[in-house]
Chain A
Amino acid sequence: MLVMLRHSPHGSSWLREGLDVALVGAALGRKVHVLFLGDGVQALIAGQTSGPLGQKGTHPTLDMLEMYDIDTLLVDGESLAQRGLTIDDLQLPVSLVDAASLPRVLAEHSPIYSF
């Protein structure tokens, strides 16, 4: 299954709740790939902290993905470039997806969850 994460951390719970779907899928034995796209790439920026009032960040959850055998982290290169980011700015090793491959990533996965 593919979990597309398209929202940034802290501003809403979409990212957290999308990650929960990925973790539960993996816990149930599904092969889970994660695609970071649009503002979702902000989830990967190194150096995030928890927010005021003890708002939990999502960065610790990203570190847990590997423990759940979620080791395919795909990142849309165009989304990174639009936001002035490169792969060196990210907290985890990822696979870059170029413009030509992006539609193929979706075509090759079932089911797809979009958050």
Chain B
Amino acid sequence: MKYALLVQGAPYSQQASHSALRFASALIARGHTLGTVFFYHDGVYNASRLATPPQDEPNLVEAWRRLHQEQGTSLLVCIAAALRRGIIDEREARRHGKEGHAVESPFELTGLGQLIDVHTTHDRLVTFSP
């Protein structure tokens, strides 16, 4: 089956990202595919390339990126939720006259419509919230 995950918890504050990443490896181990991870609410902080965790803690941003590399999973970040929390990419930084940006490929800023569409393109959606 093709799965999508909705992640709504901030990394290093809530367990939601850990649970979602663990669930992601388990579903892949069972022969399913992970098509999309959609980040909403405080989940958008998972997309910050500037996160700098101590070396003895898991690098969650890197773990998401690896899912994209190994599975081709789309990492979609709700643009409305992200912008107001300072999670912007280079294009939005330019557009709003800001210096620096937090979001880089393979994470993509996108509209909420993509979350609605997930149901037509995936078999299961599982939500991980704080």
Contacts and interface: CB of A to CB of B under 8 A. Distances in A.
Interface residues of B, dominant DSSP: helix
B41 A21 contact: no
Contacts of B119: 1, 110-111
A23 to B, nearest CB: 9
B81 interface: yes
Interface string A61-101: 00000000000000000000000000000000000000000
A25 B120 CA distance: 13
Interface in A98-115: 110-111, 113-114
Contacts of A17: 40-41, 81
Interface string A1-40: 1000000000001100100110011011010000000000
Contact of B116 (A13, A30, A110, A114): A30
A96 B119 CA distance: 28
Interface of B: 40-41, 80-81, 111-113, 115-117, 119, 125, 127
Interface of A: 1, 13-14, 17, 20-21, 24-25, 27-28, 30, 110-111, 113-114
14 contacts: A1-B116, A1-B119, A14-B41, A17-B40, A17-B81, A20-B80, A21-B112, A21-B115, A24-B111, A24-B116, A25-B116, A28-B117, A110-B119, A111-B119
